[in-house]
Structure 1
Amino acid sequence: MYEQLRQNITRKVSLTNSEFEQIEAVVKPLSIRKKSRVLTAGEICNYTIFVNKGCLRSFSVNSKGVESIVQFAFEDNWISDLYSYVSEAPSLLHIESVEDCDLLLLYKEDMENLFNKIPMLERWKRLLLQNAYVAVQRRLNSSLSVTAEERYAELLHSHPDIANRVPLIHIASYLGITPESLSRIRRQLLTK
């Protein structure tokens, strides 16, 4: 259950077996069914989530009830409401399972304690946050300067099986387009 987490962390920093056992001791496993909420907007997000198996989505809902998907997290990825996690303010996002999921939750208090015991984890967390910031910046730039067709092609390139795992309505929301526009784009790609 923890091997994928170990590989994820050790791609960025080296840890001893003893250090990793300390992480295992505080990580909380959670198995959830499809369409289950891990976080609801308005709650304080005091954990980060590692996806061992499955797919999660984070999204906001506007005053008209329209969802806007911010992120998908597949296997070997982390997800959280970073704003709420850092500021300890109520979350602006919901996090929900798109598929049945096996997750590992790492609570902020446990993480802070681990930083004191395993200083290398602070480096790991900094690298994780840097990567998250870069991803947000790339996504913002893409939404401002790249066509929907190009954004969809990029999404397929980074996640080739996404259309088999995620409902098209969620993919359209992530791309910032209507489901009808996504259908048109998909038809155009098939004829090329």
Structure 2
Amino acid sequence: METFEECLCRRSGLSMSDVEALKAHMTRMEILKGDTLVRRGGRNTDIYIIVDGIWRASYVNSDGNDITLWFASKGDMLFSSWCFVGNMPSMIALEAMSDGVVYGISRSDAEDFFMSSVEAARIGRRLYEKEIFEIERWLLSSGAPRARERYETLLDEKAELLQHVPLKYIASYLFITPQSLSRIRAEMARGRKKRH
């Protein structure tokens, strides 16, 4: 099974020594299901890297609906760009969907580390490039013409979600109702039975 360090290296292009250098400046934290690292309206400027667990980023739209923006798991970063970049109250919440472990670092400590050397600056750049890539990928997949295609992509990339995330949050992420998601899941199950 891939460690979170290996996962982070694979996804970000960092070397194992880069990851170890970053971890040396971070604090390991155990998280319980339901814990919130960033609250809507809060000002948490820390950055977290997931060792284990499933996370959900959400916001409340103008109609008062709780909307899931994205899910994150092992090797992914967690932070509010409103807080970290804009120094403003967060528009999103980051909530644990399962028990887990993260490494965290404050904004000031992260900036000090990234400015300490050319190598440290490269580590920061690679991490931010990964996040920009993931955002663009998410935007493109959310524009997929069919909810079933978006659901299949989600299963391919983060199958472990089904063990920890209520279906209403997955439906919200896919921009469909829970009833539509149930129909898609039933159709896929019937398709699998026909093949066997």
**Range class of TM-score, shorter chain:** 0.7 to 0.9
Is the 8 Å Cα contact of residues 150 and 174 (structure 2) preserved in structure 1? yes
- 1:153 lines up with 2:141 in the alignment: no
The amino acid across from 1:33 in the alignment is L
Q: Does 1:123 align with 2:85?
A: no
> What's the CA shift for 1:101?
1.5
CA deviation after TM superposition for structure 1 residue 7, in Å: 6.5
Instruction: Give the RMSD, CA atoms, in angstroms.
Output: 2.3
Match of 2:13 in 1: 12
In the alignment, is the contact (CA less than 8 A) between 1:13 and 1:123 conserved in 2? no
| Structure 1 residues 154 and 14: alpha-carbon distance in aligned structure 2, compared to 1, 3 A threshold | closer
In the alignment, the residues of structure 1 paired with residue 144 and residue 73 of structure 2 have an alpha-carbon distance, to the nearest angstrom, of: 26
Tell me the TM-score normalized by structure 2.
Answer: 0.85
**How many angstroms apart in 1 are the aligned matches of 2:40 and 2:105?**
19
> What are the Cα deviations for residues 116-166 of structure 1, in whole angstroms up to 9, with x where unaligned?
323222222222222222222222222234310100011111122321222
Q: Partner residue of 1:41?
A: 40
Alpha-carbon spacing, 1:13–1:160, altered in 2? closer, same or farther (3 Å): closer
Distance in 2 (CA, whole Å) between partners of 1:162 and 1:120 is 35
Whole-Å separation in 2 of the counterparts to 1:148 and 1:138: 16
Question: Secondary structure, in 3 states, of the residue corresponding to 2:34?
Answer: coil
Unaligned runs of 5+ in 2: 192-196
Q: Percent identity over the alignment?
A: 27
Shift in CA distance, 46/149, structure 1 to aligned 2, threshold 3 Å: same
State the distance in 1 between where 2:145 and 2:7 align: 33
Q: Deviations over 1:92-134 (max 9, x none)?
A: 1001100012111121111111123232222222222222222
Corresponding residue of 1:87: 86
Q: Is the 8 A contact 2:8 2:14 kept in 1?
A: no
Query: Structure 1: how far apart are the matches of 2:96 and 2:109?
Result: 24
The TM-score with structure 1 as length reference comes to: 0.86
Tell me the amino acid that sits aligned with residue 114 of structure 1: F
Shift of 1:25: 4.3
On the 8 A contact 1:149/1:185 being kept in 2, the answer is yes
Question: What letter is aligned with 2:13?
Answer: K
| Offset of residue 187 of structure 1 | 0.5
Instruction: Tell me which moved more, 64-73 or 6-15.
Output: 6-15
Structure 1: tracts of 5 or more residues without a match = none
**Number of aligned pairs?**
188
- Asked whether the equivalents of residues 13 and 120 of structure 1 are also in contact (C-alpha less than 8 Å), the reply is no
In the aligned structure 2, how far is the partner of 1:150 from the partner of 1:38? Answer: 31
CA 1:88 to 1:5, structure 2 compared with 1: closer, same or farther past 3 Å? farther
1:4-56: CA deviation from partner (whole Å, max 9, x where unpaired):
34872586334759x945x4443122212111111101122311111111111
